[in-house]
Amino acid sequence: MSLKNSYVTSDYMEWDSMLSLVHKLYRDKEYRLSLLIGCGSFFGLRISDILALTWSMLLDDEKFVIIEKKTGKRREIKVNSNFQKHIADCFKALDIVDKDEKCFVSRKKTVYSTQRINVLFKSIKIKYGLKIEHFSTHSMRKTFGRKVVETAGENSEFALIKLSELFNHADIQTTRRYLGLRTEELLETYDMLSF
């Protein structure tokens, strides 16, 4: 929760920084956190939906279906084949026996809370020297969105339309604002002036 009249938002990570972080966390035996950041960035889901994922959802097929907790809408997710190998590596490293187990359980065998993950993210930001101002659970969803738009290049408007639908936003202006693109475009106006 933020202070009254304060403006706090989450920032996205550069894609390469996110991938590097996922690999470093895995190397440091932080398998669940590595997987969590990967899932958030590859699937573009809200944290409430990520925390509901089971190993069988991620490993049994190349895609899975969820009913979004916030919107109640059905969403089909395709698992990137390269990322699925990372999922399998984490599964094996954690020595999971029950594929129906939730992926993101603590040592106490309870599913992490969003608040706890945000606390962990603060320490990850410091430990790994992340160049991101506001790093939270929502950063992963924004990382996904920014990567989709950047990869689209000249087709970025079409990418925004697809993202708007994936994110269940009312329109692409909402998606543009959500990803911080609108603010960047407006601030570019000042660069047009010469002195």
Residue 8 belongs to some domain of the structure: no
Residue 90 belongs to some domain of the structure: yes
Residue 167 belongs to some domain of the structure: yes
The structural domain count of the chain equals 1
Residue 78 belongs to some domain of the structure: yes
The pTM (predicted TM-score) of the whole model is 0.85
Range of the domain at 182: 15-191
Residue 29 belongs to some domain of the structure: yes
Q: Is the pLDDT of residue 194 over 80?
A: no
Of the chain, the percentage scoring pLDDT greater than 90 comes to 68
Structure-model confidence comparison of residues 2 and 91, the more confident one: 91
Mean of pLDDT over the chain:
90
Residue 170 belongs to some domain of the structure: yes
Q: Is the pLDDT of residue 169 over 60?
A: yes
Of the candidates 144, 133, 114, the one whose C-alpha atom is nearest the C-alpha of residue 48 is 114
Q: Is the pLDDT of residue 193 over 90?
A: no
Q: Is the pLDDT of residue 165 over 80?
A: yes
Residue 6 belongs to some domain of the structure: no
3 falls in which pLDDT band (50, 70, 90)? very low
- For position 142, which CATH number holds? 1.10.443.10
**Cα 166 from Cα 164, distance rounded (Å):** 6
Of the candidates 94, 52, 60, the one whose C-alpha atom is nearest the C-alpha of residue 79 is 60
Residue 176 belongs to some domain of the structure: yes
Q: Give the tens place of pLDDT for each residue, 5-15.
A: 444 578 999 99
Of the candidates 36, 32, 38, the one whose C-alpha atom is nearest the C-alpha of residue 19 is 38
Residue 61 φ then ψ, to 5°: -155, 175
Q: Is the pLDDT of residue 50 over 80?
A: yes
- Tell me, what DSSP letter sits at residue 128? T
Mean pLDDT of 18-37: 98
